[in-house]
Amino acid sequence: MTKKSVELVLSPREPHYVGDGFRVHNFIPDGFRLDMQRMNPFIMLDYNSKFYFPPTDKPRGVGVHPHRGFETVSIAYKGRVAHHDSSGGGGVIGEGDIQWMTAASGVLHKEYHEKEWSLEGGEFHMVQLWVNLPAKDKMSQPKYQAIKNENINRFALPNGGGEIEVIAGDYKGVKGSATTFTPIHMLNAKLKKGTETDFTFPANYSTGLLVIEGSVVVNNQEEAPTNHFVLMATDGESFTIKASEDAVVLVLSGEPINEPIAAHGPFVMNTRQEIAQAFDDFYKGKFGHLED
């Protein structure tokens, strides 16, 4: 088994707001070696690092907007978000929960801080990913997967060293809860200080690590502090993560979708003509209806 080396450790960029409820650092696409193709099928990563939102009686968030051609995955570490979409999907995700929305042929959706949580305010800490779909599935039916934390399968690390939550894919025989269109591994590695564990993915898979809490050392060599992203090279299969302190690391690895990417705003297709068609369909009301 050959070692997968670290290509880049990326510090968080200056944050910006998506709507008024998501204060995010954008890691993908990034102007420095992290475009949509480099981490494909993970074509967007917005990271809301831990941030305090004060109480309000008007929930913050993002109003109604369309998507087509990919999936959105929201992972809640702190806070609560309410989601609704025009295909009938929706619900509330809280600490440890996952929302996996397949926009595919097109949906309207909106996301706001959950009403009761907004009234109290608190720490908010989330990740949103866009996961690409292959051309044959871009116009499939939308769907929605609500994954509660208690339903996520786990691999217990030896000697009380922590656990690996398997959101999608598998880890040492433990299968993930989410269904995916292409091979994807999405794991929350929750490691106690001093714990070291190994990961193995095919060499050609797009692989990256986001340090959510604490700090880690990758391959006993590269330090990765809180809120940093580690891009792994495509030169091998296995690597190790050791926790310098109690840590949470989001581990992403997926088979690249080797197709053209045409992206504009909320749409990700294969050609500019398909993007133009998406806008036309949206303006004609073909994405359904959703009250703001």
> Which bin fits 153, alpha (ψ -120 to 50), beta or left (φ > 0)?
beta
Distances (CA, A) of 134 to 83, 202, 205, 223, 258: 25, 19, 15, 34, 9
The Cα 175–Cα 104 span in angstroms is: 24
Q: Report which DSSP code applies to 166.
A: E
Look-up: residue for tokens 């797009």? Answer: 206
The Cα 193–Cα 214 span in angstroms is: 9
The Cα 155–Cα 153 span in angstroms is: 7
pTM for the predicted model, two decimal places: 0.97
Q: Residue 30's pLDDT band (boundaries 50, 70, 90)?
A: confident
The Cα 15–Cα 86 span in angstroms is: 29
List pLDDT tens digits, range 152-185.
999 999 999 999 999 999 999 999 999 999 999 9
List pLDDT tens digits, range 74-89.
999 999 999 999 998 8
Q: Which domains does the chain have, with CATH numbers?
A: 6-254 (2.60.120.10)
List pLDDT tens digits, range 92-131.
999 999 999 999 999 999 999 999 999 999 999 999 999 9
List pLDDT tens digits, range 256-265.
999 999 999 9
Tokens of 167: 């959101």
Strands 70-78 and 122-132: antiparallel
